[in-house]
Amino acid sequence: MPRHLISIHDLTAAEVAGLFRLAADVKANRSKYENHMHRKTLGMIFEKSSTRTRVSFEAGMAQMGGQALFLSSRDIQLGRGEPISDTAQVLSRYIDGIMARTFAHQTVTDLAKYGTIPVINGLTDDLHPCQGLTDYFTLMEVFGGLDALRGRKLAYVGDGNNMAHSLMLGATKVGMDVAIASPKGYEVKERYAGLARQDAQAAGTKVILTNDPVEAVKDASAVYTDVWASMGQESEQQERVKAFKGFTVDSALMSHARKEAVFLHCLPAHRGEEVSAEVCDGPQSRIFDEAENRLHVQKAIMLWLMAGVEI
């Protein structure tokens, strides 16, 4: 059976470390991998539009000698009621891997269940593992190695969404503590909090859930936020703006973090809402390094899952 990337929880700490070593090598030695995907095809299913996910996967396949097919839900039968099991089995006979960016998490798990090729979760309403892995890879670069992350703290301030879930699950894999601060009524799902606590107990790290942004950010080495209304929640925008008052990552909030702390955001960013422009575009921000690293980390994921490169 093929390996998939559905959730960071499914990876061991050793596999995460191996992916990061491979991503670093891919980043430093692009020409080394330019033929590793020769004649391989990645099918990219998009129910949600994207800039970074589409371009990074498509460019990554091209740079490694393969091709990527963009499949919107409007263009394939999945959007017209074909069972996911049929789509998975048919695509498995045509292509070498599937990347799916969907609303329901079950869509991605069903593609993996019924298909016979690797499936990569490009984002669901529950999880965003490619982004989460990229975030910790970026922190590894910032602080000088994977070992340098152990004992540090990442603070996430904002909606308890797919990013909060993936950051919780990823922290334990790299030996970091994680603190999630969300307004009441917008906390992370208990299902993922429970998995994160389970992993943290085994790893000797901490998972802190709070409604107080200052408590979360105190002594953090990285401060992270995301949009207050994710795709599909646009009708809740004004309601959320009121609920998230006091959760903007600005200079005052960053002052509670360590002096060397960096700011991260998965983008797109709404300056003046979840983050101030002075932080988003300031010296502590690593948002564009983070965005670039989506390419390198995802190339490593595809090399591992689709080309059999050892990690």
Which of 199, 8, 1, 231 has its CA nearest to residue 120? Answer: 8
**Cα Rg of the chain (Å, integer):** 19
Distance CA 36, CA 20 (A): 18
Catalytic residue among 9, 105, 294, 296: 294
Catalytic residue among 9, 52, 101, 296: 101
**Which amino acid is residue 145, in one-letter code?**
G
Q: Are 274 and 286 in contact (CB under 8 A)?
A: no
- Is position 270 annotated as part of the catalytic site? no
Catalytic residue among 96, 105, 126, 131: 131
- Is position 38 annotated as part of the catalytic site? no
- Is position 294 annotated as part of the catalytic site? yes
Give, as one character, the DSSP assignment of residue 48. Answer: S
Catalytic residue among 128, 152, 240, 265: 128
Query: Is 12 exposed, middle or buried (CB count within 10 Å of its CB: 0-12, 13-18, 19+)?
Result: exposed
- Is position 298 annotated as part of the catalytic site? no
Catalytic residue among 266, 280, 284, 296: 266
Distance CA 199, CA 197 (A): 5
Q: What is the dihedral of CA 120, 70, 105, 187, to 10 degrees?
A: 100
- Is position 101 annotated as part of the catalytic site? yes
Catalytic residue among 110, 125, 199, 226: 226
- Is position 9 annotated as part of the catalytic site? no
Distance CA 181, CA 266 (A): 17
Query: What is the set of active-site residues?
Result: 101, 128, 131, 226, 266, 294
